[in-house]
Structure 1
Amino acid sequence: MHTHRIVSIIDDDESVRIATSRLVRSLGWDVRLYASAEDFLDCGQISDVACIISDVQMPGMTGLEMQQRLLDGGVALPIIFISAFASEIVRSQALGDGALCVLSKPVDAVAMSRCLETL
């Protein structure tokens, strides 16, 4: 098990952030919520995060762009992407760049649990 118990949830839809945070907390994790990839990257608290759960499509920086920015900065955090429109191209890019999982919205609790159990 990972030594840090913090999952950062990044989604521009507040209702999705809240629902996902309830699910992740019920699985025993602490959570931090962010309305955008930019907010997360600017938070100054990335080093203690065990995993990121991020929407793919968001205004401004997308989840995939955030993933690339982290990788370019030498930060390879596990990322679980969630998307209402996860095409095979998006799925392949995310997983190819090291994402842990790509899940469809609405998020299945069992699938999310399985992804987090791999940490």
Structure 2
Amino acid sequence: MANPTLRIAVVDDDASIRRALARLLAALDFEAATFATGAEFLDSLSDRVPDCLMLDLHMPSMTGLEVQEALTEAGIELPIIIITGHDEPKAIRQSLEAGAAVCLSKPLDDELLLETINTAVYSTPRSSK
């Protein structure tokens, strides 16, 4: 089982995706924190940096790539798993080049998600913020 102390942030503009991922992460023994916008997530970082970030690429006010850029500018390193329902190779490539660990397509497979989170958390450097 997963380490129950690991906190996974989910940033997705779709409320049903956020709810489903929060339930799935809880079932996998993770602590989930969900955010509707990139700005909401970035504002939360003053309280606690999560152990891993699940980030939607396509959001209306701030894209996933823009969230990644803001994290880089702030000097915050954490494992990022891109989640997308769109097949846009250029955006996916840009996100991976910006440091995302992996990109997963929606809908997400439970076992693959668990494996991906564990791999990302335990093999990606993190900042101490």
TM-score, normalised to structure 1, is: 0.90
- Identity across the alignment (%): 34
**1:90 equivalenced with 2:91 (yes/no):** yes
Distance 2:94 2:111 in 1: 24
Q: Which amino acid aligns with 2:21?
A: T
Partner residue of 1:32? 33
Q: Which amino acid aligns with 1:52?
A: L
SS of aligned partner of 1:85: coil
Q: Which amino acid aligns with 1:29?
A: F
CA apart distance, 1:89: 1.1
Aligned residues: CA RMSD: 1.8
Distance 2:85 2:76 in 1: 26
Partner residue of 2:71? 70
Partner residue of 1:81? 82
Distance 1:64 1:46 in 2: 21
TM-score, normalised to structure 2, is: 0.83
What per-residue deviation string (whole Å, max 9, x for no partner) do you get for residues 53-87 of structure 1? 11111111111100111011111111111111042
Of 8-17 and 102-111, more deviation after overlay is shown by: 102-111
Q: Give 4+ residue runs of structure 1 displaced > 4 Å after superposition.
A: none
Partner residue of 2:47? 45
SS of aligned partner of 2:22: helix
What per-residue deviation string (whole Å, max 9, x for no partner) do you get for residues 12-36 of structure 1? 1110001011111122110111110
Partner residue of 2:24? 23
* Structure 2 segments unaligned to the other structure (5+ residues): 122-129
Q: Which amino acid aligns with 2:66?
A: E
Distance 1:46 1:88 in 2: 32
Q: Which amino acid aligns with 1:105?
A: K
SS of aligned partner of 2:34: strand
CA apart distance, 1:37: 0.4
Partner residue of 1:57? 58
